[in-house]
Amino acid sequence: MKSILTTALLTMSCLTAYTHASAQASAQAKVPFEFSVGQRVLPPGTYSITEVRSNMIEIENRENGTTLYFSTYPSDRVKGKPNMLVFSKHGDQYFLHEVRGGSGEYAEDLSPSKLEKEIQRQETARANQQSVDIAMNKK
């Protein structure tokens, strides 16, 4: 499969460090589209991303009262563009793929859902996958 192309969708002002070493580090991002995380589809809105412990993040949208927890694993794609939510885009569907923090020193991946894996298999032949980055700022 071709490597994921990144497209900056939204750059937020006042980017600040989202430190990996500090548990409870939190940042916010305004996501302008519906997206999937695990088996859940989340509406557009402002989301707080908090690293609650190593390899575990909390995704919260206070506007609609949604709070979800997801396991993560370290990514090797850390270079540049810190404080980002990275989404895989398949057709008109977005999937949260990665959370980048700090000054580019770490990134955490989320495992793709069954739906995303199926769509990836279908798109491999078409090479139609895109990636979208959403900037985060510290709360």
pLDDT in tens, 99-139: 887 666 667 888 888 888 888 787 776 665 567 888 888 87
Pick from 60, 62, 79: nearest CA to 133? 79
Higher pLDDT, 118 or 6: 118
**Using CB atoms within 10 A of its CB, is residue 56 exposed (0-12), middle (13-18) or buried (19+)?**
middle
pLDDT surpasses 70 at 85: yes
Residue 4, pLDDT score: 33
Residue 132 in contact with residue 113, Cβ under 8 Å? no
Residue 1 lies in a domain: no
pLDDT in tens, 17-53: 333 334 456 789 999 999 999 889 999 999 999 888 8
CA distance 71 to 122: 26
In which domain, by residue range, is 23 found?
Answer: 6-138
Tell me the CA distances in angstroms from 112 to 17, 38, 72, 98, 138, one per residue in order: 26, 7, 11, 10, 26
Residue 31 lies in a domain: yes
Residue 133 lies in a domain: yes
As for how many domains the chain has, the answer is: 1
Q: Which of 9-13, 66-70, 125-129, 130-134 has the lowest mean pLDDT?
A: 9-13
pTM score: 0.68
